[in-house]
Amino acid sequence: MIIDSHVHLGYTHEFWFYDTSVRRLTAEMDRLQIDYVINAHSEALMQENFTQAYTECLQAYAQSGGRILSYHVYNPNRGRVCLDLMEKYDDPVIFKGIKIHPSQHGVYADSPAYNAVWQYANDRGLPILSHTWALSAYNPVQRFSVPERFVPYIEQYPAVPFICGHAGGRYESIITAADMAAKYPNVYLDIAGDVYACNLIPYLAGRCQADKILFASDLFWCNPAAPMGMILTSGLDESQTSLILGGNAARIFRINSGNGGQA
């Protein structure tokens, strides 16, 4: 089973797309033999159009025959709205986790503003996926999402699986994120986005083991063939490759190959 655990439906003014339809997404899934994807809808994540995003997530699930699953999105600047909608759409068959993005929302990852969503995830048994990245002189908002800022919540909520999106993003933070995944049982790494390095997968597997790494692409922002190729050419054995391509995500998100529901 192959699961892309980090994709985005919908449009945003920050990136250019010509087609983010369910039809195109499922065609790309078929081309690469991807069984399931987990979508963090751009209308919620980037534009605060939360109700529209939930409506389109439900439509995507139905139109894809249950192959397009989704994340709840939590923006701490609209925390009450987000929590109310998470309660309203509390369906663990469709909504498999929670996405946060401290850099996009301008709130440091260790802020008390995130306690409510960590508590919610803890109570519901849901994983949290967050954007993580390195400090950047040309993109200073990344300071909100450096991996080490998540440590207080990781330690406070050890039962909540936490996924470092982009595995830390760039060199220094990739090292930090890998060290965190090695140290904390509840920390995982996804390889979504333009994090392209020939030896990234062997490095991560050597530092924190293959059962901590998730195939992810950032589709439609990035081409899923790139991270898939990194995994398939990594030199890892078949059992390790199988875990990264889908086995780990199936376990963390409780996905089975029958209907995408809870395992």
Asked, for residue 261, whether it belongs to a domain, the answer is no
Asked, for residue 223, whether it belongs to a domain, the answer is yes
Asked, for residue 136, whether it belongs to a domain, the answer is yes
Q: How far apart are CA 157 and CA 119, in angstroms?
A: 8
Average pLDDT of 94-121?
99
Average pLDDT of 187-211?
95
Asked, for residue 93, whether it belongs to a domain, the answer is yes
Structurally, the chain folds into a number of domains equal to 1
Helix/strand/coil for 249: helix
State the pLDDT confidence band at 44, using cuts at 50, 70 and 90: very high
pLDDT value of residue 263: 44
Distance of CA 133 to the CA centre of its chain: 13
Average pLDDT of 101-116?
98
Q: How far apart are CA 245 and CA 205, in angstroms?
A: 13
Question: What is the maximum span of the chain, computed from C-alpha positions, in angstroms?
Answer: 46
Asked, for residue 262, whether it belongs to a domain, the answer is no
Structure letter (DSSP) for residue 263: -
Instruction: Indicate whether 164 pLDDT > 60.
Output: yes
State the pLDDT confidence band at 260, using cuts at 50, 70 and 90: low
Which residue in this structure is represented by tokens 């797309």? 17
Instruction: Indicate whether 31 pLDDT > 50.
Output: yes
Instruction: Indicate whether 49 pLDDT > 50.
Output: yes
Asked, for residue 258, whether it belongs to a domain, the answer is no
Asked, for residue 164, whether it belongs to a domain, the answer is yes
Helix (H) or strand (E) holding 181: helix 171-183
Per the structure block, which two tokens stand in for 91? Answer: 């369906």
* pLDDT over 90 percentage in the chain: 90
In this structure, what CATH number is given to the domain that contains residue 56?
3.20.20.140
Residues 6 or more apart from 242 whose CB is under 8 A from it? none
Indicate the range of 12-26, 51-65, 195-209 predicted with least confidence.
Answer: 12-26
State the pLDDT confidence band at 261, using cuts at 50, 70 and 90: low
The domain of 225 spans 3-253
Q: How far apart are CA 199 and CA 127, in angstroms?
A: 27
| β-bridge pairing 36-39 and 95-100 | unpaired
List pLDDT tens digits, range 173-192.
999 999 999 999 999 999 99
Q: Name the residue among 92, 124, 99 with its Cα closest to residue 263.
A: 92
Asked, for residue 137, whether it belongs to a domain, the answer is yes
